[in-house]
Structure 1
């Protein structure tokens, strides 16, 4: 009995060779394309969230996929790039003024903490001793300020390099976005055809979980972060802080991480109290607690949990774990992975419920 094929290989050996070839090609493909995976992931997320708008635009243009994809990409480019460019100059000016103000305050003469701050156990005494040390040795303060300036120069250089790299990635993401708009339906059909033999009816469940979680995370994280940044910026402006626009942008970025904004507006409020601006400091702390954090503590969990039907605690773990594992894109990939795991769990539970009770009785022989 001959178990070999026409080339002299047994079927099992042929499959092993084929798997090794596929694994080698996959490794080579990753080596070539891994630099573009993050821009492609961003493009897929943006395309999915904005797909209803794109379909309406394509209908207005009588079904022209190329024209609608190009116009949609141009509109999104303007929505991303124009605000960034318009904020660079005022934020740079505010950053310079903020740094100079802090340096001048630290280098000046003796400072006295407000009485209610100085009476805080341990903290008040420590802060007052620190200020007294600065006042008694201004030369060391100037040296420290100079060291900070050198560190800032280095960090600014790294930041500029990072901006350049991110701008390049943004360009690749926008180019990819055009082709996803133009050929997205064909790509999705090919993906479904490739995965259907392995997943069957489960494929629709997983795609639905991925889509729902992506949409809810975008709305729950990005929109609430923008709302928190705007509200916090209003509080900074009302409190008379020197750089409200810069601090609002920082607050919006930190707000992408759940429960991260108190570290920004809380620090600014504490600084105002140390500076002696008691009314402004207390007002900002109250504004942050009652208004800014209200968005984070109430609206974000409602938007994410209700849309994805997943406990917000799991979503938060997915956000933080994804951020640690994948970087900024992990803010979205982490919750999506959690959503697929939850879909698997619910499917398994449904199968267990469908099994007759007799077959599940551990005492039955």
Structure 2
């Protein structure tokens, strides 16, 4: 029976932990990203530190600067061509709806269901322009508010990125000491099993990163090939945009679907339909197959369980759930295998029951 003093200490400790969680809650996601990135890139950091004479501070600063450039330079490189392409696309749309008559190309109008629906919309534009202008104005207002939300979200994400990079520096510099402290704190509760659990989490995290990066590269290469065959302007730029969007699961249709629709409206039906089929049958299936396969093969976890971990983690925790979901399932699998091993050992140790009753 705990004494009153122990009860008070437990309540005080629980209150402090709760208050600490409230204070640190806005920074938990950036810290998690910093831990994931530092763990995956730790071999490169170790080699860099050896080259710099085991200077932890200088190595951590240089590694953080390199990763900052790796994160920001591709986005900066794609911003200008992406802005120009969006401006040209908006001008083409305005010019298309300003010309008369607004008839679809014959090849596009003959597509079942889609062609008749699009032609009906254009006929409605021709008959009642004020109503369409009012509808477009409503869409524009809604898009304006959504753009404001997106810009605000981008600013918040930029701030989180800054916190993650600052945390990354200290994680590199003091990572070994932090890991030792975690082991000392958890070993009394988990014993020798702690190393197995940490190994499972680390292996799964590395596998998820490799799966995401390899999938993004594969999807960008296949999408770039499709853009080039379809005769799209600036296929390399679009492939770069596809690579960035492919870091988010099921995000590539945000790029190749508008491109294919633009080809259809331009009267290039074969190229548009071909790009749609290429995107649905090839590009999207890469996301569904390569990512879980790479993760499951590297971490020795069943394919289906990895897929559930990725999708379930994404739904439960957001983008960071891509790593948390599979990591949680990896620990559960480690527990399951340990239980299976222990059960097998107990069965082997049990004496064999013999029937020694005389006849």
200 and 134 in structure 1: CA distance in 2 versus 1, 3 angstrom threshold: same
352 and 309 in structure 1: CA distance in 2 versus 1, 3 angstrom threshold: same
Match of 1:143 in 2: 134
Match of 2:355 in 1: none
RMSD over aligned CA atoms reads 2.9
Q: Distance in 1 between matches of 2:139 and 2:66?
A: 41
> Is 1:62 matched up with 2:62?
no
Q: Which residue of the other structure, out of 337, 343, 348, is the alignment partner of 2:334?
A: 343
246 and 161 in structure 1: CA distance in 2 versus 1, 3 angstrom threshold: farther
Tell me the alpha carbon deviations over residues 209-251 of structure 1, each in whole angstroms, 9 at most, x when there is no partner. 1111111111101331244235324533553446867754664
SS in 2 for 1:128: helix
Tell me the alpha carbon deviations over residues 92-147 of structure 1, each in whole angstroms, 9 at most, x when there is no partner. 22223223333443454322354576352x44433332333233333333333333
What does residue range 67-82 of structure 1 map to in structure 2 within 5 Å? 67-82=58-73
What does residue range 279-358 of structure 1 map to in structure 2 within 5 Å? 279-289=270-280, 291-293=282-284, 295-356=286-347
1:339 Cα deviation after fit:
1.4
Q: Which residue of the other structure, out of 179, 190, 197, is the alignment partner of 1:199?
A: 190
Q: Distance in 1 between matches of 2:218 and 2:38?
A: 22
Q: Distance in 2 between matches of 1:319 and 1:291?
A: 20
1:357 Cα deviation after fit:
6.8
TM-score normalised by structure 1 residue count: 0.85
TM-score normalised by structure 2 residue count: 0.86
Q: Distance in 2 between matches of 1:357 and 1:56?
A: 46
Tell me if structure 2 keeps the 8 A contact 1:220–1:304: yes
Unaligned ranges ≥5, structure 1:
1-9, 360-365
What does residue range 1-365 of structure 1 map to in structure 2 within 5 Å? 11-108=2-99, 109-112=101-104, 114-115=106-107, 118-120=110-112, 122-236=113-227, 238-241=229-232, 248=239, 251-252=242-243, 254-262=245-253, 264-266=255-257, 268-289=259-280, 291-293=282-284, 295-356=286-347
Unaligned ranges ≥5, structure 2:
351-359
SS in 2 for 1:276: coil
1:180 Cα deviation after fit:
0.7
SS in 2 for 1:111: coil
Aligned length: 351
Tell me the alpha carbon deviations over residues 136-167 of structure 1, each in whole angstroms, 9 at most, x when there is no partner. 33333333333333233222222222222111
